Structure 1
């Protein structure tokens, strides 16, 4: 889940020559310690479900619109009970020399002696000192990763406060991003492009702490994903799926592990969901039609989720395991 905050991620940005990035190992000892302590304190508040403490350590412009963050933190409390918190990466982002608020500023972060290059893109960025901290909460069935944007609000001495908060799982159905990437390559070798594409997407989602973050490894994954992308997937326009004497307007497709097993989620626009019996019948018809067109999905996903929605915002959802979907 990505929470909208003061600092918004931008997919593309122009490089600002007045900014610089320093990775954790190259940070000055006192700065690294201050960032580590701030990140660990904020992450600890998330683990405890202490939204009040997190809000107290947040910059005013974000604290003033904190309900979304508070709800997310409270929703994580049960699944993170007993988790081990680790600060895995720190990036110092210096924007002191910006002339004013900049759109889409990119920070290029290289690791000395290593081929890894990380790019952090922030938009609507004022001048100042910022940092990105990545934390892992592990040792529990639903391990999570946090990306914290920190801003130095101190004058004489550093005072790091929360300016952005993003949380994503580290695994889906018990598997990490590397496993999904490897499986996608297996599916490509078997000429199963639909499975390969959605497994690649899952790998990217798990490997990327937030949309503002990319690296040369993630760019390689993106190229592999683009190379196998099936034609006609929903985007600006829905994908029309024929099913007997009608067609379904599919607006979204993605891997989903809400029920702790890997399903393929299908979002569809329908005229009405007021009758649950009819809505369920339509969903099952859609599932069957998709499996008839793409039988490879049956062996590579646990089941299918269908989320039907109307123009008025009414919704209906149903999940079926593959074993319950019998083709005519």
Structure 2
């Protein structure tokens, strides 16, 4: 269950399926007032712990798996502490999930609201033990940047215990999902497939409070994103990148990171290498990868500030180098 500590462990999905499942969902309007009040009150209390960086408060109020992972809770709270310190939160949406049966559900799907209506919403949680759960999505005020914060709560006795924490910034470098979506469409219209794809991914990260949430509008947006992925993007398999030194590198990852200093985005490329024990040689290899990447995809020089190449050894250790992308030649 500790997988719910991290935002990206659950896949978003909304499928057209019959309603007669072991899983059921009630919206705030459908659940009884006492349950709604209990869920929202618990979420408010737990957010106070979050804004204070109170790891013990969260672990003492959590299900066993999360309570046993204080280090993971601490890492998650610290990651967002600078933005959320002293902030407060107000419930935006509240849902009640019931997962029946006696065995853990490999894929639990909850469909909420009127079926086939524009207001319907779906949630998919993987590896969910049976039980009664509440999901409270909150609007954060007083934070340094706009945030959603959501809690998955599990009923144990008379308590609603923390079963998942989901912080979600609503901006990257002061820009929201709509901005990055429009940027992606503009790049796509100009035939810049990779620039479009990267900006679509940023927009996707900001578009919804939860990565495992789906609505009619989000489904349409996700379809647009998926259809825009470059066929040679290293998503499920490495990308072969021929370099000027005669080698072909196996690129395993390409992703963006915010550069707060320059108020822009940096591009990171990771590639496999058998050995990083010689820093000087690895630096030269990193430069070869950078040069090969911007030669193959010159469009990358337009929107990004820096290019970071990270050589990854078989044991997972890596060696990174960074250059201003305009200087890579």
TM-score normalised to structure 1 length: 0.86
Equivalent in the alignment of 1:39: 43
Question: Counterpart in 2 of 1:87?
Answer: 91
1:116-265 matched pairs, under 5 angstroms = 116-154=119-157, 158-244=158-244, 245-257=246-258, 259=260, 261-265=264-268
- Residues in 2 aligned to 1:136 and 1:298: alpha-carbon distance in whole angstroms: 36
Q: Are 2:305 and 2:324, in contact at CA under 8 Å, matched by a contact in 1?
A: yes
| Cα-to-partner distance string for 1:33-53 (whole Å, 9 max, x where unaligned) | 211111111111111100000
Partner of 1:298: 301
**Residues 225, 6 of structure 1: alpha-carbon distance in 2 compared, 3 angstrom cutoff:** closer
Distance, in Å, in 1 between the alignment partners of 2:284 and 2:174 is 31
Between the aligned partners of 2:308 and 2:209, the Cα distance in structure 1 is 25
Contact 1:180-1:203 within 8 A present in 2 as well: yes
2:275 match: 272
> How far apart, in 1, do the equivalents of 2:328 and 2:106 lie?
52
Aligned equivalents of 1:320, 1:174: Cα separation in 2 = 24
Q: C-alpha distance in 1, partners of 2:315/2:266?
A: 27
Shift of 1:258: 5.5
How far does residue 60 in structure 1 lie from its aligned partner after superposition? 1.9
Whether the 8 Å CA contact 1:251–1:267 is kept in 2: the answer is yes
Alignment check: 8 A CA contact 1:10 1:122 kept = yes
Per-residue Cα deviation, 1:270-314 (whole angstroms, up to 9, x for no partner): 222223333233223222221222222222223222222100222
Measure the CA separation in 1 of the matches of 2:220 and 2:152.
Answer: 25
**Residues 52 and 86, structure 2, Cα contact 8 Å, conserved in 1:** no
1:262 match: secondary structure = strand
Q: How does 1:65-104 map to 2 (within 5 A)?
A: 65-95=69-99, 97-98=100-101, 100-104=103-107
Unaligned runs of 5+ in 2: none
Q: Does structure 2 conserve the Cα–Cα contact (< 8 Å) formed by 1:241 and 1:249?
A: yes
Alpha-carbon distance in 1 for matches of 2:226, 2:104: 34
Secondary structure of the corresponding residue to residue 82 of structure 2: coil
Contact 2:24 2:97 in 1 (8 A): yes
SS of corresponding position for 2:3: coil
- Matched-pair contact (CA < 8 Å) for 2:2–2:66: no
- TM-score by length of structure 2 reads 0.86
Which of 46, 60, 83 pairs up with 2:64?
60
Q: Return the alpha-carbon distance in structure 1 between the equivalents of residues 121 and 44 of structure 2.
A: 22
Q: Which residue in 1 is equivalent to 2:27?
A: 23
Paired positions, count = 321
